[in-house]
């Protein structure tokens, strides 16, 4: 489980955090995350960047639906240009 607005390091030593937004259920994944891969939702054909099943920045963290931030599960992952938006329950 991750806590919002707390700094973490991935396996390469790059810093990242889950930054709170004006909504208590939305967070932005920020840090030195220049390269990443992403995948669609299980059972859905194709990849919709506004409705992903996972994102995996180079070095981590691997974040998928169900990953917890502030003890609440992620229910939606979206990528807007270079912004990774995470929404919890």
Three-class DSSP labels, 3-36: CCCCCEECCCCCEEEEEECCCCCEEEEEECCCCE
Of the candidates 52, 80, 43, 71, the one whose C-alpha atom is nearest the C-alpha of residue 89 is 71
The reply to whether 53 falls in a domain is: yes
Task: Classify residue 20: in a domain, yes or no.
Answer: yes
What is the extent of the structural domain holding 18?
8-88
Domains contained in the chain, number? 1
pLDDT at residue number 64 = 98
Tens-digit pLDDT profile for residues 36-84: 899 999 999 999 999 999 999 999 999 999 999 999 999 999 999 889 9
3 within a domain of the structure (yes/no): no
On whether residue 2 sits in a domain, the answer given is no
* Confidence grade of residue 33 (pLDDT, cut at 50, 70, 90): confident
pLDDT the model gives residue 32: 83
pTM: 0.94
Of 23, 22, 19, the closest CA to residue 4 belongs to 19
């Amino acid at each position: 489980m991750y806590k919002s607005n707390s700094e973490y390091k991935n396996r390469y030593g790059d810093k990242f955090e889950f930054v709170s937004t004006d909504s208590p259920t939305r967070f932005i994944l920020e840090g030195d995350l220049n390269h990443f891969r992403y995948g669609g939702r299980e059972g859905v054909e194709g990849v919709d960047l506004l409705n992903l099943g996972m994102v995996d920045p180079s070095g981590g963290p691997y974040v998928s639906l169900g990953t917890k931030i502030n003890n609440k599960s992620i229910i939606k992952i979206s990528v807007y240009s270079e912004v990774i938006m995470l929404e919890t329950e």
